[in-house]
Amino acid sequence: MTRRLYLVLIMFLCSTMFALAQMKWNASYQQYFDQYRDLAIQQMNAYGVPASITLAQGVIESGAGKGRLAMKANNHFGIKCHGWTGGKIYHDDDERNECFRAYNSPYDSFEDHSKFLRNGKRYSSLFSLKITDYKGWARGLKAAGYATNPQYADLLIGIIQLYKLYQYDTAKGYDKFIVQHERGHSTGFTHRIYAYNNNYYIKVRANDTFASLANEMGISAKKLAKYNERDVRDRLSVGEPIYLKKKATKATKEYKGRLHNVRAGESMYSIAQTYGIRLKSLYKLNNLSPDYQLRVGDRLILR
């Protein structure tokens, strides 16, 4: 090794170590991981790409979902056209006005990313690695030319370690509701699924019962009723939200320091459902007993 090459290598290693040392927790990154982790796990189980790698690549390539390609074309992985026959978007990258793939939803982008790696000859050796070997995957992706950034592998590894994304590589199941939500409800459930407060819900239609919803969603009727703090035999009202998982103990962050002004016709239960929180938590947040008679004009703490 020549002295000059040695110095270049030392400078590169120092700059890489400095960049990783400067890496700090980012709320936007965490939000991205919280939103897409179940989808990444589903893709891992279907195609064999570690969920940690999918998430780390996604957050880098999409700017935590806020980059132009992600916002305009649902492209979370910076995959260029390369013979693509679907939708397209043009964007400046290594060269001006390059062709990138455009998708109908983030789900389609995540699935195409899995297929892109699984079916690409230059990435075939990666699938001989253990699913938990995220370091090997990160270095293999860089060696195969996925990105031109010389620090790409180290960035992936740094992000995976900082946010503990490796924990998802041993997950066995996935959240079918987030997958269906991201897919755009093209198949499967007949009700539209909405995402709110780290949960999912549907809106009741005429003739819906806990039994009929349970059959559609693949959840026992008793569990579905319990998640919504109801009796399984209760009649449901058209338009009311029915949550598909256990509700949160407080409202979303946007309601920090804000109060709910009680209006005519509202109840503690209907307010709890509106904000996706447990009824007993709403009572506790406001130091109220279950026999409290709610009045119009009351102001309730939500978190």
**Could you tell me whether strands 259-261 and 88-91 are parallel, antiparallel, or unpaired per DSSP bridges?**
unpaired
Predicted pLDDT of residue 185: 54
Taking the alpha carbons at both ends of the chain, their separation in whole angstroms is: 61
Of 123, 120, 161, give the one whose Cα is nearest residue 142.
123
Predicted pLDDT of residue 13: 45
Contact in structure between 201 and 194 (CB atoms under 8 Å): yes
C-alpha pair distances (Å), 222 with each of 50, 218, 219, 231: 35, 12, 8, 8
Euclidean distance between CA atoms 186 and 207, whole angstroms: 23
Predicted pLDDT of residue 3: 53
Euclidean distance between CA atoms 142 and 140, whole angstroms: 5
Alpha helices in the chain (DSSP H): 3-22, 27-47, 51-62, 68-73, 106-119, 134-143, 152-162, 176-183, 210-217, 221-227, 268-275, 279-285
| β-strand partners of 80 | 100
Contact in structure between 60 and 116 (CB atoms under 8 Å): no
pLDDT in tens, 137-178: 999 999 999 998 999 999 999 999 999 999 999 987 778 887
pLDDT in tens, 131-142: 999 999 999 999
Angle at 152 between CA 33 and CA 99, to 5 degrees: 85
Q: How far is CA 172 from the centre of its chain?
A: 17
Predicted pLDDT of residue 190: 87
In the numeric block, which tokens belong to residue 37?
């982790």
In the numeric block, which tokens belong to residue 261?
């002004």
Handedness of CA 262, 266, 271, 272 (dihedral sign): positive
Q: Please tell me the pTM assigned to this model.
A: 0.68
Predicted pLDDT of residue 83: 85
Contact in structure between 300 and 286 (CB atoms under 8 Å): yes
In which residue ranges of the chain is pLDDT below 70? 1-22, 184-188
Predicted pLDDT of residue 12: 41
Burial per residue of 17-34, b for 16 or more beta-carbon CB atoms within 10 angstroms, e otherwise? eeebeeeeeeeebeebbe
93: CB partners within 8 A, 6+ apart:
78, 80, 100
Neighbour-count burial of 210, counting CB atoms closer than 10 A to its CB (0-12 exposed, 13-18 middle, 19+ buried): buried
By three-state DSSP, how is residue 217 classified? Answer: helix
27: CB partners within 8 A, 6+ apart:
none
In the numeric block, which tokens belong to residue 266?
């509202």
